[in-house]
Structure 1
Amino acid sequence: MNLSFITAPFGFVLGTIIGSFLNVCIYRLPREESIIFPGSHCPKCNSPIKWYDNIPIISYLLLKGKCRYCGEKIPPIYPLVELLSGLLTAGIFFRFGISFDSFYYSILTWFLIVISAIDIKELMVPVKPCYIVMVLGILLSPFTHSVSLIDSILGASLGAGIILFIIESYFIFRNKEGMGYGDANIMAVIGAFLGWKKVFFVIFFASLIGAIVGIIFIISGKDSESPLPFGPFLAIGGYLTIFLGDLLLKFYLGG
């Protein structure tokens, strides 16, 4: 029996539950507020949200996207984050089953969702969460089947180093900032979880997707000088590399 069809639904439910917490992180981290206290509440009337109004996706539909107490509209980004977290986590558990690696890569996936949403909304990347998750990735790496402690440390260093090199080189030749230093923090986290060998695939995917989106923006008449956050592209590249990294390494090494 293929247990993937059992583990994937488990991953989806877990992902949607975590997705509810990710919404709290996305809202509070840029404001430097605690993500623990106070509990979930309506940002307009400050009424605490009861557990039965905090069921991922379902509560939003039952409440018709409004606060039970004041009627304030709840942005659709909340159920979308929960749904995205559920789907991406389901993909991880489908691939790795019920294992430590599934929880390990799920942590990276949840981080990438949060940091991408913040980068898109605020055009900034908070440093402290990146540092905490990077250290967590390094500390947990010896317990995985695919990343050693040395690979993790080198991955964090190489990931950040490559982005910093690109940032400084662009500034030297163009005399203006092309990427933000927050992108180096994101790559440090991704490198810590995936190892140094897969860093190059992440940057390749991110650059390819970024170039495609940039071309679409130009064709559609968007202002070419408008800032385009690169964090989400790194996030997509990181998630794709979780699934394709080993295959690409075998192909590259002639396996």
Structure 2
Amino acid sequence: MLPMLIAFAAAFGLLIGSFLNVVAYRVPLGASVAGGRSECPSCHHQIRAYDNVPVLSWLLLRGHCRDCQAPISRRYPVVEATTAVLWALVAAVAGDTVDVVLGIVLVTALVPITLIDLDHQRIPNVITYPAAATALVAGTAIDPGGELSRVLAGAGAALFLLVPVMVYPSGMGMGDVKLAAVLGLCLGPAVAVAILAALVVGSLTGVLLAARHGVQKARKMRIPFGPYLAVGGVVGIVAGQPLLDAYLSTF
């Protein structure tokens, strides 16, 4: 049963990944993600349905538009494949139904958030708010007994990042605070592991940049924190609760 669930999650994740490419492209432009077919950004021809099959169409077209032969970024199939892997990963490691649903909600939000934050250094409310609302509704419906701990985890994670935002606003933004809340609503107490992982990965990245470019240049590089929170979120899904349980068992 589990292999079938993983395969189904991967297949559906491919389709969702195609949509998330649209979200990451249109949301920063203020365009609707619900209406209008995708088009080539170079010649503006609408993409045919048979040229819009996740990953496969890009490979068959060799990464070029059928009409104008303009190159199509590798990012599109990479995002589709990554979303498929993340959905399959959630299905593989989730302990019960609520973990599957909230894990899917989280990784689906993290993909476009990461892309937009890398491209535009902002995390849109139009993604975090619906993700938070979906997590609240789904968590309450499936596991009402555990919702209080998830809400408290979300509030705690948000407050934890709110302090550095207030002290040093150029380092993080309120988008990061809201994303931390979403992590808590989806991961529950395991969000502590996710936040720690994000801080560790961010610190290691800073050290590597300083070693490569020098401390002064590294300090001037503006690197968004959202992608690190996304990495932390995946760590939280995969190993958050086991690591938290192992830590608490030492006391």
Note whether the superposition's TM-score is higher than 0.5. Answer: yes
- 1:133 equivalent in structure 2: 131
- 1:158 equivalent in structure 2: 156
Q: How far apart in 2 are the matches of 1:68 and 1:111? A: 30
Counterpart contact for 2:98–2:139, Cα < 8 Å: no
Structure-2 change in CA distance of 1:235 and 1:204 (3 Å): same
Deviation, 1:140, is 0.8
Deviation, 1:102, is 2.0
Q: Which one of the candidate residues 180, 185, 190 is aligned to 1:187?
A: 180
| Offset from partner CA, 1:133-190 (integer Å, 9 cap, x none) | 111111111244597221232222222211111212335xxxxx22122111211111
1:166 partner amino acid? P
Q: Which one of the candidate residues 205, 215, 226 is aligned to 2:221?
A: 226
Residue segments in structure 2 that go unaligned for 5+ positions in a row: none
| Offset from partner CA, 1:186-236 (integer Å, 9 cap, x none) | 1111111112x2232111000001111111111111621110111111011
Counterpart contact for 1:15–1:82, Cα < 8 Å: yes
| Offset from partner CA, 1:102-128 (integer Å, 9 cap, x none) | 233112101111101111111111122
CA-atom RMSD, angstroms? 2.0
2:238 partner amino acid? F
- 2:73 equivalent in structure 1: 75
Counterpart contact for 2:113–2:123, Cα < 8 Å: yes
2:42 partner amino acid? K
* Number of aligned residues: 247
- 2:108 equivalent in structure 1: 110
Q: How far apart in 2 are the matches of 1:104 and 1:178? A: 29
2:200 partner amino acid? L
Under a length normalisation based on structure 1, what TM-score does the superposition of the two structures give?
Answer: 0.90
Identity of aligned residues (%): 32
Q: Which one of the candidate residues 200, 211, 217 is aligned to 1:208?
A: 200
Relative to its length, the structure with more helix (as a share) is 2
Counterpart contact for 2:86–2:107, Cα < 8 Å: yes
1:200 partner amino acid? A
- 2:61 equivalent in structure 1: 63
Deviation, 1:97, is 8.0
SS in 2 for 1:68: coil
Counterpart contact for 1:158–1:199, Cα < 8 Å: no
2:184 partner amino acid? G
- 1:217 equivalent in structure 2: 209
Structure-2 change in CA distance of 1:146 and 1:75 (3 Å): farther
Residues 1:252 and 2:244 aligned together: no
Residue segments in structure 1 that go unaligned for 5+ positions in a row: 172-176
SS in 2 for 1:72: coil
Deviation, 1:93, is 1.2
Counterpart contact for 1:88–1:109, Cα < 8 Å: yes
Counterpart contact for 2:102–2:187, Cα < 8 Å: no
